[in-house]
Amino acid sequence: MTPDRHEFHRLGSSHVLLTGATGFLGQATLEKLLSSHPEARISVLIRPRPNQPAQRRFDGLLRKPVFRELRERLGEEELRRIAAERVTVIEGDLGEVTLPGDIDVVVHGASTVSFDPPIDEAFRTNVSGVVTLYEALHKAGADPHVVHVSTAYVAGVRKGVVPEARLDHTVDWRTELEGALAARADVERDSRRPEVLRKSVSRAQGEHRKAGPQSVVAAAEEARQEWVSDRLVEYGRARAQSLGWPDVYTFTKALGERAAEEMWGERRLSIVRPAIVESSLRHPHPGWIDGYKMADPLIIAYGRGILPEFPGLPDSVVDIIPVDHVVNATLAVAAAPPETGAPAYFHVGSGSRNPLSFRGLYENVRDYFRKHPMPAGERGHIRVPQWRFPGSRQVEMMLSGSERATAMAERALLRLPASGKTREWMTAVHRQQTNLDFLRRYADLYQAYTQAEVIYDDSRTHALHRTIPPELVEEFGFDPSVIDWGHYLQEVHSPSVTELMRGFSRGRGGSRRTVAPALPERTDIAAVFDLEGTIVASNLIESYLWARLSSLPRSQWSGELADLARSLPRYLRAERRDRGDFVRAFLRRYEGADMAELRDLVDDTLGDALLQRVMPEAVRRIRAHRAAGHKTILITGTVDVFVRPLADLFDEVVASRMHTRDGVLTGYLDSPPLVDEARAAWLRRHAADTGIDLDGSYAYADSYSDRPLLEAVGNPGAVNPDPSLYRHAKRKHWRIYEWGAHTRGRGDVLMDTINGTVSAR
């Protein structure tokens, strides 16, 4: 039956198989079947997840916002009763499941909607998934009307009007599928070539050497895997574009159509091609959306002020269609099967009857944010930029220049010492880099859509809409000409997609200082602290100077400082190579010191100086952990004698021990210092021996060399981090603490004197 017969059909008591029910369009389709097609029986194919069988995933669907109106109208218990009666959950993948033989209609909506997945993943879902569906239907002996949900953009890169018809191309989907699935093995093999591995290792050593050899190894392997993923993404993009599609998503969806035609085209097959599916216009409620769809990241980014321009043609058509229109059209198609052996094609979009230009989209979004600007914390509200549409070449020049400048700034900042000002600059650079990465990604992905000069004809779809009786149009209609773009974009869609981000932005207001989270009362977790830069505002060199200069008459200070200054380049080279090398090299300066005298000096004089350098926020945090029952542990490369004044704060102190002979220090350590990875290894062994739960434990440190220690626990905290650790913490969304901004004491006076002496020389 075709829409030309001017007769509107309902699904009645049909048995409908729905794939992709957990996705955006699938959720809306399932809700519409339950709310407006009361006699239809429904089977949903759902893939189980670890510790989450298919039935539990379906039960979770019924709690989602898409069913809010239905829950309120029927009551939660009644909704569950109806779902239990009418819906059968089939667990598994298409290739591994037995389908019922009495299916009347299949709505196949399962697919990957990412524009740039690795080529094998895209083909496995969008092509192999189609093949296995029809194989499963053949195996079940079923003869349903299949509604294959595709996308309007399978037409590829072209200009003019695209008809509702079979795609005009000669690409062999079987050959392309075979090549795509084989691509991963080829790329994996290439990733193990010496030149690729050496490049990965060299980069990892440059960035991660301070964290230890295993960190370098892990980073190198991660870089190799990223190289594999990036190459497979590029394989897909390049192959798609070489054949006339903008990306691997539209390419594989086009081949999925061809596979459907070959495997089911002799039966009853309809192909529905939605354009850009966005939030609902009316049903289940205005603005309903699940996650961010194609246009939404751009809308949010513009509202946050991070899109100064975008490479789009102001007069190109942005073919947006509300999700409830797509659902209504799909189910109308499902109820009007074509003749056997004559596949029918339907475009569901707005570009033909109610076109929205890219400039029109921009102006509506701009007007919305001018009326309802995004909050900017203490800075008030964000002022959105004014676009001039300078063209893709100018936007690319601007973007490339900004990327180069930001990369140079980051490299320069990574060489600076840790300080509040450095972290402030790093924050600005990190924000700029994040914004540029976003703009680069979406400019590359969306140019084909924001520069499109194509219209998708919807004559057949509109003819189907005209069969709906007037009294049912509001509930089942899908005519895009009823959409008022100003109302939809400014009063329905934009408020919906910005709601979550507004709440997040408001939550970030107030003080920039990180508030320490509440601590659980537990006795099976630990709180591990580094010393220098984390608890005390001093370092290994300063501790030595306290001890050395306190034992010398002031007349000999300049000589000691001059000798130290001459040795600093050697110590800095050791520090860059390995933190352990630095500790070993520097502690040689203690050779010949009397251990008993040094201990007395710490107890009588230097202990007070150390305590005056302790950061009060650190002490409060340590005491809070102890009050919560946590085991407090200090791990430091500083010599144990220097941390004696702080020992009472901790349940356990792990520090370097220097070798003595007849009570005199030899300048050597008794055992390798606990630095970088060694700290994490010690903690894991200690946790295994004592029953500590590391996932619930805490760690605090300031240096990138402590990254393995921080990563060993579930609650890492970067305290006054150096630039490399700060960058890593921002990327990993760790808590960042600024402690000790007002810490002053005898140590400062001592260091001021030292600095003055060095400057004088």
Tell whether 163 and 210 lie within a shared domain.
Answer: no
Tell whether 604 and 708 lie within a shared domain.
Answer: yes
Tell whether 750 and 665 lie within a shared domain.
Answer: yes
Give residue 157's domain range: 1-171+244-275+319-352+457-478
**pTM score:** 0.78
Residue 519 domain flag: no
Tell whether 22 and 165 lie within a shared domain.
Answer: yes
Could you tell me the two tokens for 739? 């402690």
Residue 375 domain flag: yes
> Residue 530 has what pLDDT?
92
Q: Using alpha carbons, list the distances in angstroms from residue 567 to 469, 562, 577, 585, 597.
A: 91, 9, 16, 10, 25
Phi and psi dihedrals of 163, rounded to 5? Answer: -80, 160
Residue 283 domain flag: no
Residue 154 domain flag: yes
Tell whether 629 and 655 lie within a shared domain.
Answer: yes
> Residue 600 has what pLDDT?
72
> Residue 552 has what pLDDT?
58
> Residue 488 has what pLDDT?
98
> Residue 482 has what pLDDT?
97
* Ramachandran region, residue 278 (left: φ > 0; alpha: ψ -120 to 50; beta: rest): beta
Task: Name the residue with tokens 């144990």.
Answer: 640
Tell whether 376 and 366 lie within a shared domain.
Answer: yes
Could you give the percent of the chain with pLDDT greater than 90?
A: 56
Residue 286 domain flag: no
Tell whether 130 and 15 lie within a shared domain.
Answer: yes
Instruction: Give the distance, in angstroms, between the CA of residue 290 and the centroid of all CA atoms in the same chain.
Output: 17
Residue 521 domain flag: no
DSSP string over 430-475: HHHHHHHHHHHHHHHHHHHHHT-EEEE--HHHHHHHTTS-GGGHHH
Residue 6 domain flag: yes
Q: What does the alpha-carbon distance between residue 491 and residue 371 come to, in Å, rounded to a whole number? A: 11
Residue 20 domain flag: yes
> Residue 426 has what pLDDT?
78
H/E segment holding residue 681: helix 676-690
H/E segment holding residue 558: helix 557-577
User: In terms of Cα–Cα distance, which of 287, 253, 335, 436 is closest to 39?
Assistant: 335
Report, as ranges of residue numbers, the positions in the chain whose pLDDT lies below 50: 1-6, 507-512, 744-761
Q: What does the alpha-carbon distance between residue 38 and residue 13 come to, in Å, rounded to a whole number? A: 8
Orientation of helix 213-242 relative to helix 676-690, angle to 10°: 100
Tell whether 333 and 404 lie within a shared domain.
Answer: no
Long-range contacts of 504-510 (CB under 8 A, 24+ apart): 505/374, 505/375, 505/376, 505/377, 506/375, 508/377, 509/375, 509/377, 509/378, 510/377, 510/378
Q: What does the alpha-carbon distance between residue 531 and residue 638 come to, in Å, rounded to a whole number? A: 8
Tell whether 45 and 109 lie within a shared domain.
Answer: yes
Tell whether 732 and 712 lie within a shared domain.
Answer: yes
Tell me how many domains the chain contains. 4
Task: Name the residue with tokens 């704060």.
Answer: 649
Tell whether 340 and 362 lie within a shared domain.
Answer: no
Phi and psi dihedrals of 570, rounded to 5? Answer: -65, -40
> Residue 301 has what pLDDT?
84
Say which amino acid occupies 562. A
Instruction: Give the CATH number for residue 136.
Output: 3.40.50.720
Tell whether 582 and 543 lie within a shared domain.
Answer: yes
Model pLDDT for residues 163-177, shown as the tens digit of each residue = 999 999 999 999 999
